[in-house]
Structure formats: structure tokens, C-alpha cells
Amino acid sequence: MAPAMVPALSHVWPRHAALGEDCALLLAGCDARELAARFGTPVYVVSEQDLRDQARAFRAAFAEHAGENHEVHFASKSFPATAVLRVMAEEGLACDVATGGELSLALGAGFSPDRIHLHGNAKSEHELREALDAGVGDIVVDNLDELDALIALVPAGRRQRILLRVAPGVSPDTHPKISTGGPNTKFGLKPSDARVAIERARASDRVELDGLHIHVGSQILDLEPFHAAVEVLASLGEFRTINLGGGLGVAYLHEQSAPSVEEYVARKVEIVRELFGTDVRIADEPGRALVARSTVTLYTVQTVKQNVARWVAVDGGMSDNLRPMLYDARYEAMVVGRPYDPAHPGPFDDDVEICHLAGKHCESGDVLIHDVPLPAPVRGDLVAVPMTGAYGHSMANTYNAQPRPPIVFVSDGEAREVVRRESYDDLRARDVR
């Protein structure tokens, strides 16, 4: 039990996180300070049970509202680590991949090929061949050029099951860089081209048109744009499968809220049943909502200095979390051992300073969090940033020749490294000598 006056952790932290004695941050029973000492920083710490709980929540919600005629795909781009993929396969999810590399990871993690579908707006001939050779369940065709190329590649006597991705002209309330279903998007077929593709696919003996696919965007907190998007699909005819993409957003800040998995699934199924009836098979592709909350990134403070603002620089930054630089994404942070919750009084309130939590890279834009309240940070402090499971590892890079961090799974007080920290040798490994 947390000591008196120490604030409880909010919903932005993993379900299996808690504050222990001396305000220790416990992640699935593992002390964050001990994890940092053992594995170094920066480090992604993943609560394995959080991953499993969320996968089960999606499966249970779809089973309740859609019966057996559904399929939940993990959008692997959100966290393409073999250990994460393996958890999703073990929990009975299918898998959405967007490149040959993601396909290889999914196969290696244990997904059955017929439980994988290949996505992407610019698949190469090589990637299409890889998918055909692997025997993937569906290929989501993005455009007419790709449809023609795929038909030419499918061997005689075989039919490849496909979905057609439609751009419904719907722009949800999200950041423009993660809005994917508007009238001027690079993704999918506009409705007039979709009608051409439907006719062309149905006339071919090399592909089997299973249904339609939409994906209107990511980090969506208002579910109503899905109705307008599915209306566009309904105008194109009747189909066996409707894939609604993903998009469910999460609360990155304690004052934010997001639809629950139950609310999200119930509304999506309701929309499809209203417009397509009860016989259509419903597929969905959650990513962020499956993995974001599972993960906390730990950093070590390197410098604290004051100019116009107070700058706290850590040993990571845009090389391990690019989202703040791409989308102006916001996070919270904690100085481990001195927790502060602006919503509740606590023993460290008097020490709080408004800081910019900066990265170590040679870019002025390398700032993880602007104007974050932190209790008197000093060099050597351990800082924890929650909600980093989605698109942290997948967008990690080696800018400034910074090796990428390890991934550590924690569960029931035990920790295991599932992705090792990159080394300087790794940075040189592709050099041709």
C-alpha cells in the first residue's frame, strides 16, 4: 500500500503499476530503480499482463457484440517487437502488417499465415510475392495499379483473397499527420475508383474479393466519424467482410479521457449492423489502444539548467520517442521516488518546478515534454514517462549514432530482456568493408 499523502497513480500508468514504500515506482512488482540499474537507461519497460489484459478485452467485447463472426487484428506497426507479437498471437489475435519486414516478424512470432493480412499503400512486387509465397489470409489492395500487379503475380490455378481499401473522404478530429481517410489522402481508393476495382476484382479468376476496408485515422476519441465512413462502404454494395481499421485513441494525460474498449466496439458493431445487417463479418485493427498503456520509458537526468525556462535533459529523446516531434504529442512524467499528481495533494508539491524535459540530440526540437511539473529534478534522477508502448520502439532511430534502447518485460516481480540494447558494433554492422 502506498504511504499516506502519496498520490495514487492515474490511468496513464500501466494497470499493474503502483507506488510502494519510499515512493518507489513498482512496475508489475519490479522496482523501477532496480530495473534502471540492471538494464540501463533509456529502457522501455513493458507490463506483459497489461498487453494480455487489453488483448482479452478486445476479444471479449467483439465476442459479446458481434458473436463469432469477427476478427481482431493487431496493428503490428504500433509495437513490432517479436515478444509483443508473440503475446498477441498467444491471445488469439490475427495480425495486420504493412511491409515485408513486418510480415517476417509476424511469421517468426508464431502467427499462422492465414491469420495475417498485408496492408500498405505502396507495396513492392517483392512484398506482394512474399505475401503470396507465405500464404497470407488477405492482401488489402490500396489502388488500381496494385490490383493489376497482384492479379498478374498470382499463379495460375490459385486465387488470393483480397480486401479493397476505400478512402471514404472522412476526416476525424485528430492530428493531420495521422488522419488517413480524408478526401486528399495517399491511402485507398476514392469511391469511384473503388467501383472500378470491385468490377475488375470480380471479373478476375486470380483474386477473390472478400470485402472492403477503411481506416480513417489514429488517436480517435470521437467515434461518430466511423458512421459516415461506413455509409460510404454501404453505397458500394454488399460484401462478406467489412474491416473497420483501428484508430481508438488513448488518454496520454491524466485529465484526458478516451472511449473504453467496450464503448468503441459496441458503437462500431452497431454502425455495421445498421448499414450492412447481421450476416457481415466484422474485422478491426487496434494498435495504439492495445499497447500504449503497457509501457513506461525510464531515463536518467544528465543536466538541469535555467535560462528563460528550466531545462531538464535526459539520456534519450527523439531517438526513442519521435511522437512529440512529429505530432506535438503530450506525455506526463515522474521523478521516481518523488511522485507528483497535479490532481491530488502530495508531499512533494512544494518542490514542483515547471520544466522542459529535453532529449540529448543535436536538435532544438528534441523535447520530450514541454512545461511538465517535476519535483526539483537533479542530475542522476530517474525519470519515468508512461504511455510509451505505441510507436516508441517502432519509430526508434539511431540519430547521433545513439544505440536504440532495450525492451524489458515485467510480470509478477520478474523482469526479462526481450530486445537487447543496441551496441556500437551494431551501428557498424551494415558497413561494407
Inter-residue contact 32 to 26 (CB < 8 Å): yes
- Which candidate, 380, 252, 364, places its Cα nearest to that of 315? 380
What cell was used for 348? 512533494
Q: Is 145 buried (19+), middle (13-18) or exposed (0-12) by CB count in 10 A?
A: exposed
Mark whether 362 is an active-site residue: yes
Q: Edge-to-edge strand order for the sheet containing 25-27?
A: 17-19, 25-27, 30-31
Torsion 74-80-85-91 (CA) sign = negative
Q: What would the 3-class secondary structure string for the chain be?
A: CCCCCCCCCCCCCCCCEEECHHHCEEECCEEHHHHHHHHCCCEEEEEHHHHHHHHHHHHHHHHHHHCCCEEEEEEHHHCCCHHHHHHHHHCCCEEEECCHHHHHHHHHCCCCHHHEEECCCCCCHHHHHHHHHHCCCEEEECCHHHHHHHHHHCCCCCCEEEEEEECCCCCCCCCHHHECCCCCCCCCECHHHHHHHHHHHHHCCCEEEEEEECCCECCECCCCHHHHHHHHHHCCCCCCEEECCCCECCCCCCCCCCCCHHHHHHHHHHHHHHHHCCCCEEEECCCHHHHHHHEEEEEEEEEEEECCCEEEEECCCCCCCCHHHHHCCCCCCEECCECCCCCCCCCCHHHEEEEEEECCCCCCCCEEEEEEEEECCCCCCEEEEECCCCCCCCCCCCHHHCCCCCEEEEECCEEEEEECCCCHHHHHCCCCC
Residues linked to residue 427 through DSSP beta bridges, in sequence order? none
Catalytically active residues are: 362
